[in-house]
Amino acid sequence: MFINTLKTGFLMFTLVFLFTFIGGLLGNRQGALIGLLIAAAMSFYSYWFSDKMVIKAYRGQPVTSASNPRLYKIVQRLAQNAELPMPKIYIIPERQPNAFATGRNPQNAAVACTQGLLEIMDDNELAGVLGHELGHIKHRDILISTIASTFAGAIANITRFLPYFSNSGDNRRKNNNIGLIMLVSILAPIAAMIIQMSISRKREFMADEAGAEFSGNPLYLRNALIKLENYSQAIPMENQNPATANMFIINPLANLGKFQDLFRTHPATEDRIRELEKMARQKNLL
């Protein structure tokens, strides 16, 4: 928990510094002040409202015990096993099977799963997946994960605003701005990837272990991951957002080919399956 708090603070500080620095390059003191104000507002908003922003971006529909008793009862049982408050539940209208958790703390958490996940998983597999997401909530990964997604998205979109500054000032100023725009255009996507990968892949293994514990059997999540890996490659996510890819239980984006190991936001699925099977053997379940 303490380490995640430090990571969250570091990400927010870096966001403020980045916007202030670029604002200063573009507009001296006035630009730095504008950048500082924008970054401060984004940091405040991402802390308090980024969970709602992510749910809204994926058109999440709230779930109650009446609207989907199957899903509600599974999450309720898992939350009791994990000794967590009951999170809010949402269904995402996507065919690709996937799920994520968000929120600033366990008292203000939410879990979301796609319609495709509900269609292909049996109750045990669904419990394994949702147990994994409750593991993120239990370990307080969800705030840093959500802020990192907001951060990555902000960096990736910086170049959209830079051209508005390139036509201001004298010729020397214009040339400097054009050079800066080109530099940031190259570095921004790389920076966004680094931010996503700064969230340790180890947290996925820890959430897998928690999911196995909360659901009662490591093989539930093992079987679910096998399905998720196969279906995620066959069914693309319609509403794709690379900035939030790190939040899902399995990367929702298209296969990156030979470069996928370099830019993974998740551990390799086969490694996760191997660890779950090791847990199952220790419990004499395999």
Catalytic residue list: 133
- Dist. CA 199–CA 179, nearest whole Å: 31
Phi-psi label, residue 28: left if phi above 0, alpha if psi -120 to 50, beta otherwise: left
Which among 268, 240, 241, 227 is positioned nearest to 116, based on CA atoms?
227
- Tell whether residue 204 is among the known ligand binding residues: yes
132 is in an annotated binding site: yes
Name the CA radius of gyration of the chain, rounded: 21
**Could you give the C-alpha distances from 204 to 60, 179, 194, 216, in angstroms and in order?**
23, 40, 17, 18
Distance (Å, whole) CA 166 – CA 128:
51
- Alpha-carbon distance of 159 to 187, in angstroms, equals 10
Burial of 238 (0-12, 13-18, 19+ CB in 10 A): exposed
Q: Is 266 assigned a ligand-binding role in the annotation?
A: no
| Of residues 102, 132, 137, 95, the one with CA closest to residue 116 | 95
Nearest CA to 239 out of 133, 115, 128, 151 is that of 115
Report how far residue 177's alpha carbon sits from residue 79's, in angstroms, rounded to the nearest whole number: 52
Residues in the chain: 286
Would strands 99-103 and 88-92 be described as parallel, antiparallel, or unpaired? unpaired
CB 267 within 8 A of CB 274: no
**Strand pairing of 61-62 and 88-92?**
antiparallel
Residues of each annotated binding site for Zn(2+) = 132, 136, 204
Sequence ranges of the binding site: 132, 136, 204
